[in-house]
């Protein structure tokens, strides 16, 4: 990142159209009482990830999950969670047609088996999924992709590039009518791929991948609360993501990948991957855009481009960020559990005006 700009050089407030989060993990059960209000305080629509245990694989399961989410919405808040379904090796063309008929379902999430948290039920043979991809293309159902190979012979820092070459480029070439969201991209290779692909290919970028690189994960010891998958990459890749985010190119839009893990599990040898950013999400993006001298580009990235990509109406409400130095929460306590959020205790330059 560039050196931190002086507060005096920044606008006193920024008014943007209410944003959407096109990639979030709300988890389930008691945790929803924490994640739903934190997300709905800012975002109108969210794409809710389906990697529960068991996974959300069909329209009926998604409907029941959405009801549990809405039951935790505080009175007076407007919130429209869009549900992603978990793509498995057993997903059929009939399943795709049922998903296409449900307006609360936004697409299918492709997790290569073993790629991230609760991905054991993911796809094991991507090459065999052609009939399902064709059905998605014909029925207008987007494919949301966690783009990493999982074979042990590929270095963890090269898994995104390998996935592009082996799978994503062939999929987008063979099914040009299929909308594909390359989620939480982390490399210059991914940026270049999205820029060079047809108009039906877009990408989400997280706050942690804009604000940090692998030094922030590894220098001075392993900083577990900065550990996510795909893992943070070298600075040159971070800079490519920053350029993409502030470019005004509508192929790139906001997706936090906010992913809570209770402190007791995150700070162990289990290697829980995920940055829990929901409690300061839009403020984190404002921090990144302010550092880059591009606050005027925040609204398009956060509020317009994702809605446009999914052919949904732009929101009409507005949100005000005021220049106000504050600190992200050190910890979140809920139902007897403790979570350490991303950026815990660190300063931020803007805060949502209440």
Catalytic residues: 257
26 marked among binding-site residues: yes
Q: CA–CA distance from 190 to each of 48, 152, 193 (Å)?
A: 23, 21, 5
What values do phi and psi take at 248, rounded to 5?
80, 5
286 is in an annotated binding site: no
Contact 20, 315 (CB under 8 A): yes
User: Residue 198, annotated ligand binder?
Assistant: no
Q: Does 184 appear as a known binding residue?
A: yes
319 is in an annotated binding site: no
| Structure-block tokens of residue 103 | 């307006």
Can you say whether the dihedral through the CA atoms of 221, 115, 203, 159 is positive or negative? positive
Q: Is 25 annotated as a binding residue?
A: yes
Q: How far is CA 102 from CA 59, 99, 147, 291, 340, in A?
A: 7, 5, 26, 41, 36
Does 209 count as an annotated binding residue?
A: no
Residue 174 annotated as binding? Answer: no
Terminal Cα-to-Cα distance of the chain (whole angstroms): 29
Binding residues for Zn(2+): 23, 25, 109, 146, 184, 257
Binding residues for substrate: 25-27, 51, 146, 229, 261, 273
């Amino acid at each position: 990142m560039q050196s931190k700009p002086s507060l005096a050089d920044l606008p006193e407030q920024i008014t943007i159209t209410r944003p959407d989060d096109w990639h979030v993990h709300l988890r389930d059960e008691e945790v929803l009482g924490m994640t739903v209000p934190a997300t709905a305080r800012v975002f109108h629509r969210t794409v809710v990830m389906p990697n529960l245990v068991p996974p959300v694989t069909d329209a009926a399961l998604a409907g029941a999950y959405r009801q549990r989410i809405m039951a935790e919405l505080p009175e007076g808040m407007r919130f429209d969670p869009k549900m992603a379904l978990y793509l498995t090796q057993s997903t059929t063309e009939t399943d795709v047609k049922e998903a296409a008929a449900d307006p609360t379902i936004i697409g299918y999430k492709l997790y290569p088996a073993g790629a991230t948290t609760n991905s054991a039920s993911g796809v094991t043979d991507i090459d065999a999924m052609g009939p399902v991809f064709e059905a998605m293309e014909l029925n207008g159902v987007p494919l949301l992709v966690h783009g990493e190979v999982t074979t042990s012979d590929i270095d963890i820092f090269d898994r995104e590039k390998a996935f592009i070459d082996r799978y994503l480029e062939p999929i987008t070439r063979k099914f040009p009518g299929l909308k594909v969201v390359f989620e939480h991209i982390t490399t210059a290779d991914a940026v270049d791929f999205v820029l060079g692909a047809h108009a039906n290919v877009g990408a989400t970028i997280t706050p942690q991948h804009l604000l940090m690189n692998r030094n922030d994960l590894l220098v001075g010891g392993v900083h577990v609360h900065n550990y996510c998958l795909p893992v943070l990459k070298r600075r040159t890749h971070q800079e490519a993501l920053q350029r993409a985010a502030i470019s005004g190119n509508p192929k790139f839009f906001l997706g936090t990948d906010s992913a809570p893990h209770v402190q007791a599990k995150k700070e162990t040898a289990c290697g829980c991957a995920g940055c829990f950013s929901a409690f300061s999400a839009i403020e984190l993006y404002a921090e990144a855009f302010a550092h880059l001298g591009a606050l005027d580009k925040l609204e398009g990235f956060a509020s317009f481009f994702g809605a446009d990509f999914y052919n949904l109406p732009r929101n009409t409400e507005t949100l005000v960020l005021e220049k106000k130095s504050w600190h992200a929460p050190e910890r979140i306590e809920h139902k007897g559990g403790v979570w350490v959020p991303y950026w815990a205790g660190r300063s931020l330059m803007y805060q949502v005006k209440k």
